[in-house]
Amino acid sequence: MSAPGGNATAGGAGTRHPLLVRDRRLRRRKLVNRTMEATATLAALIAVAVLALVIASVLIKGVSAINLDFFTKEPAPFGQSGGGIANSIVGTVLLVAMASVLAVPIGILIGIHTSEFARSSVASSIRFALDILNGVPTIVTGIFVFGLLVVGHVQSGYAGAVALAIIMLPIVARSAHEVLALVPSSLREASLALGVPRWRTVLTVIVPTAVSGLITGALLAVARVAGETAPLLFTSSIASTMVSTDPSKALSSIPVRIFELSESPSPAEHAQAWAAALLLIVFVMLLNVLARSLFGRSRARIARTR
């Protein structure tokens, strides 16, 4: 508005070709455009750089402690060097497996309910509740399970798994809802119009079409809770240093073990903490890559029916 010069140039350029008219506002717009582009690119680069730095520092500091013993041995007795985190690896695998057994079926059923059966108002309130549950700090979940299952009893792998399952549930349910909603309604109609009852349509047409997406959601939830420390501190942290597969007692876990090792005065144990962190990062990255490739396949399959 306040650039009469621009107008004057445009108006007074009777001899110039209209495509060659130089406008001061246009020049400014170009500059703003370039600045914005550069800022956004920089922000994206920072995100990638942070990830690269995290991975690099963990790699540099942890790789020296990685050897066969690290994976296969139990922690060395106090004052001795060597040893590994075999008990924590086994414990994390058990905890995450038990949490998945609890959370994945229930989460997928919730997703099926909100996307296939619930009225839209009910579905959106459930999804809102899931979002809030997802936002609950994990330490709060830990204390909740502590009060529910540990007070008056002892810490146990079961309690830890329940805490992890509560964290997984909203992730699985929300992602299940999203991938089921991607299944085109034409498939639902095709099945219903054949006289197939609704529940059977869901089980035999909708869920198989979205199955890779459902697995993706479950994998991402696993990746998320594999690194959770806070919920396990109250529920499954006072654990034996022996490899244990008994969930009625507290199970060791990689994240809690990293925390313990980091508090140790010994540099060798610090290196082990970094190595354990490296193991966790690699595990989570592999899960993410797997989840992405599965989701890509799922989307391709759905796209073919569009």
Partner 1 sequence: MTSDGHTEVHTEMSQPEPQPRIAREAPAEPALAAAPDAAETPAAQGEQAREVQLQGLRAFYGHAEQVKGIDLDFKPNEVTAIIGPSGCGKSTMIRCINRMHEEIPGAHAEGRVLLDGLDVYDSSVDVVAVRRAIGMVFQKPNPFPTMSIFDNVAAGIRLTGRRRRGPELRATVERALRGAGLWDEVCDRLSEPGVGLSGGQQQRLCIARSLAVDPEVILMDEPCSALDPIATLKIEELISELKSRVTIVIVTHNMQQAARVADRTAFMLDGELVEVGPTQEIFTTPGDRRTEEYVTGKFG
| Sole binder of partner 1 in the list 193, 263, 265, 267 (CB under 8 A) | 193
CB of 219 to partner 1, least distance (A): 20
- Of 56, 163, 60, 168, whose CA–CA distance to 104 is shortest? 168
Kindly state the tokens that stand for 47: 């995100």
For the chain, state the CA radius of gyration. 27
Distances (CA, A) of 291 to 83, 216, 235, 284, 301: 33, 4, 29, 10, 15
Under 8 Å CB-to-CB from 199, ≥6 apart: which residues?
none
Q: Which of positions 247-306 make contact with partner 1 (CB under 8 A)?
A: 301-302, 304-305
Among 119, 135, 151, 263, binds partner 1 (CB under 8 A): 119
187 touches partner 1 by CB under 8 A = yes
Rounded to the nearest whole angstrom, what is the least distance from the CB of residue 301 to partner 1 in the complex? 5
Whose Cβ is closer to partner 1: residue 155's or residue 209's? 209
In the complex, the smallest distance separating the C-beta of residue 291 from partner 1, rounded to whole angstroms, is 20
Taking residues 125 to 164 in sequence order and writing x for each that binds partner 1 by CB under 8 A, - otherwise, the string is: ----------------------------------------
CB atoms closer than 10 angstroms to residue 13: 14
Q: Which of 115, 201, 216, 235 binds partner 1 (CB under 8 A)?
A: 201
Choose, by CB under 8 A, the member of 64, 204, 245, 248 that binds partner 1.
Answer: 204
Which residue in this structure is represented by tokens 């997406």? 213
Single out the segment in contact with partner 1 by CB under 8 A; choices: 169-177, 199-207, 263-271, 276-284: 199-207
* 116 backbone φψ class: left, alpha, beta (φ>0; ψ -120 to 50): alpha
Least separation in angstroms between residue 116's CB and partner 1 is: 12
Q: Using the rule CB under 8 A, is 186 a contact of partner 1?
A: yes
Number of residues that bind partner 1 (CB under 8 A): 26
- Out of 4, 77, 135, 195, the residue judged to bind partner 1 by CB under 8 A: 195
The region that residue 179 occupies, defined by phi over 0 for left and psi between -120 and 50 for alpha, beta otherwise, is alpha
**Runs of H (alpha helix) within the chain:** 4-12, 24-62, 68-72, 86-112, 120-135, 138-145, 157-182, 185-193, 198-201, 207-226, 230-235, 254-262, 267-304
The residue within the footprint of partner 1, chosen from 79, 194, 263, 267 (CB under 8 A), is 194
Rounded CA-CA distance 241/243 in Å is: 7
From candidates 55, 196, 281, 290, binder to partner 1 by CB under 8 A: 196
Binding site for partner 1 (CB under 8 A): 119-120, 184, 186-197, 200-201, 204-205, 208-209, 211, 301-302, 304-305
